[in-house]
Chain A
Amino acid sequence: MSDIKVKTAPVLGVDGRSAGHLLEVDNLHVEFRTRDGIAKVINGVSYHVDAGETLAVLGESGSGKSVTAQTIMGILDTPPGFVTDGAIRFRGKDLLTMGKDERRLVRGEGIAMVFQDALSALNPVFTVGFQIAELFRKRRGMSRADGYKRAAELLDLVKIPAASARLRDYPHQFSGGMRQRVMIAMALALDPEVLIADEPTTALDVTVQAQIMDLLAEIRRDRNMGMILITHDLGVVADVADRIAVMYAGRIVEQADVHALYGKPCHPYTLALLDSLPRLDLKGQELNTIKGLPPNLLRIPSGCAFHPRCTMARDICLTQRPALVELGGVRSSACHFAEELYGRE
């Protein structure tokens, strides 16, 4: 791999299709073969991200948002996880069918990932300097000294005070927020084109959360990266994301521009999510909540998977699964009453 990279987006796909995206997940299906049966974790997810844009993937735990990210990175645990259908194209080339070595080189350099819990994601027995410099040494063939020098620069970039002194520290010697910065520095080391951030702030204090989100947004802007932000926290999304994909039971139920989605949600699940946000103007009233629990993926409900918890559910929802339909050419929703919701005032 050469040091110099030319960023061009969108890219022309190898199959000759134009309008190829930088990273494109296409009709992905993943199942977990467990002792209790087959859990269909992802059932035809498609989304894409281009350079300089942030896609937020929103959903409860078990919605398949993290599994999708793991499949993109190629770090899905197999077994139990198996990809049964679909494609993941990066710069037009399908990651799922390319050779092992070729795919390995995409990791870190093409697509990098920031994990949720930096304490467990960083190796406890190596210094952070070692773990970052390792990338330069093994992937760029740099000397130990140069690797550490670059590592210090990165720690500086993610605003860790006294960066070069902290290279010799172990992960457990950092605070939660600082540790997540280390994680981000590591992901940025090889200058990736797409950054996947899997719940990067869930394990952090609220005040630190905002700092990390700001840092990510700033870096994304400076480097013109594509970013996939995986989260269950609606509050985080609004300021950072360009587009939002809402996932439920392994499917995308609504996808829209961030303003459109917040302004007029067109799926009952999104509606319920937004409704349940605490609002200052409704202070004193009881908080709205979504009834019921996320579905058991071993027994996904018939028809629309959301129907047992949906306030709008009718007979058709029990038998027919709604397709993801385009609304006004700019957004889509998978609900039998999507047009109704889109048409309301």
Chain B
Amino acid sequence: MGRYALRRLLQAIPVFIGTTFLIWFLVWGLPGDPFAGRCGEKACPPAYVNYMTEKFGLNDPLPLQYLNYLKNLATGNFGQTFNGLEIGDLLAQAFPISMKLAVVAVLAEALIGITAGVLTGLRRGSFLDNLVLVSTLVLIAVPIFVIGIVARYAFGLASVSPEAPWTELIIPGLILGSGSLAYITRLTRVNIVENRRADYVRTAVAKGLAPGRVTGVHLLRNSMIPVVTWLGLDLGALMGGAIVTEGIFNIRGIGGLLFGAIARRESGIVVSIVAILVLVYLIVNLLVDLLYGVLDPRIRYE
């Protein structure tokens, strides 16, 4: 398993480089004036342009610029914004908030989604099953930004305060996780339905175990394998996918930072955020892969 993890890690390196290069190139590498509109209505004074060009190394050949960027990244130096703020500091403020939001979302998904999935899987075709089916379809169909705006209006919610305490993140988190919640519900239900008639469940019944144990241990443990791995992937995805939710609730997380940076064309922030999110995504992917092997002893890594 160690060798497998190492190989996967090595495979992730070119992907990381490729993705960050792609974004870096889009943001820095394309021809165009990076300082257009930066000095109000007028064009920027030549002294400013020269100073900034020098500071960001914009006269170097492109590959060198990128290599310099990677080198700085490796040492944890994210560079500065155009007006001289340390990007690293901005990220350090925003990242924990996004992570909290993602954790709330994933917890909500797990708690509500798995419960609903198990209940409906065991009572296929019941009133509850149909009710949950319709609810999941609604959650899948209505985009998050609509749910968010309506919820904010309906509950009369104010913006989340800058420190983003857990209690204020509950509703935004629920909304952020709503789409995945529906998916988790369906995934759990399908797996329960599929495994319910499995031979080993029948064996557990034949052993004279109580119904609660048959369902709660033998059926659930097997049905949870794909669900848990999916939840793991979602945690990674949600950290970057919170742009809409953070925007609607004015949460000062990564998504809000990124969106503001795009609007203000703060190239340094955009590239750094994407780099971090891709890194998170790749690591989470690898961890989930390994987790799969822990959950299902039949999996062998070669």
Q: Which residues of A contact B221 (CB under 8 A)?
A: 123, 125-126
A94 to chain B, nearest CB (A): 18
Given A172-B297, A172-B298, verify A122-B208 contact (CB < 8 Å): no
A186–B298 Cα gap in the complex (Å)?
21
Task: Look across to chain B and name the residue whose beta carbon is closest to the beta carbon of A123.
Answer: B200
Mask for A70-99, Cβ within 8 A of B = 1, else 0?
000111010000000000000000000000
Residue of chain A at shortest CB distance from B295: A125
Contact of A108 with B202 in the complex, beta carbons under 8 Å: no
Check if A117 is an interface residue, CB within 8 A of chain B.
Answer: yes
Q: Is B213 an interface residue (CB 8 A)?
A: yes
Chain B interface size band reads 20 to 34
The answer to whether A104 touches B298 (Cβ under 8 A) is: no
- With A77-B197, A126-B221 given, is the CB distance from A115 to B203 under 8 Å? yes
Contact B222 A104 (CB under 8 A): no
Measured between beta carbons, the chain A residues less than 8 angstroms from B206 are 73, 75, 107-108, 112-113, 115
Chain A nearest CB from B208 CB (Å) reads 4
Residues of B within 8 A of A174 (CB): none
CA distance A115 to B206 in the complex (A): 10
Q: Which residue of B lies closest to A109 (CB)?
A: B208
Query: Restricting to B219-237, which residues have a CB under 8 Å from any CB of A?
Result: 221-222, 225
Known: A75-B202, A115-B203, A121-B199. A107 touches B298 (CB 8 A): no
Q: How far is the CB of A322 from chain B (nearest CB, A)?
A: 35
B274: interface (CB < 8 Å): no
- Asked if B133 CB lies within 8 Å of chain A CBs, one says no
Residue of B nearest to A120 (CB): B199
Chain B nearest CB, measured from A96 CB (Å): 16
Contact B197 A138 (CB under 8 A): no
B52 interface hit (Cβ, 8 Å): no
| A-contacting residues, B258-302, CB 8 Å | 295-298
Contact digits for B55-88, partner A, Cβ 8 Å, 1 yes 0 no = 0000000000000000000000000000000000
Separation in Å of the A206 CB from the closest CB of chain B? Answer: 23
Q: How far is the CA of A126 from the CA of B203 in the complex (A)?
A: 13
Chain B residues within 8 Å of A172, by CB: 297-298
B164 at interface (Cβ–Cβ under 8 A)?
A: no
CA distance A135 to B214 in the complex (A): 12
* Docked pose: A104 CA to B214 CA in angstroms: 12
29 A–B contacts, CB within 8 A, in A order: A73-B206, A75-B205, A75-B206, A104-B210, A105-B208, A106-B208, A107-B206, A107-B208, A108-B206, A108-B207, A108-B208, A115-B203, A117-B199, A120-B199, A120-B200, A122-B200, A123-B200, A123-B218, A123-B221, A124-B297, A124-B298, A125-B221, A125-B225, A125-B298, A126-B221, A134-B207, A134-B209, A138-B209, A172-B297
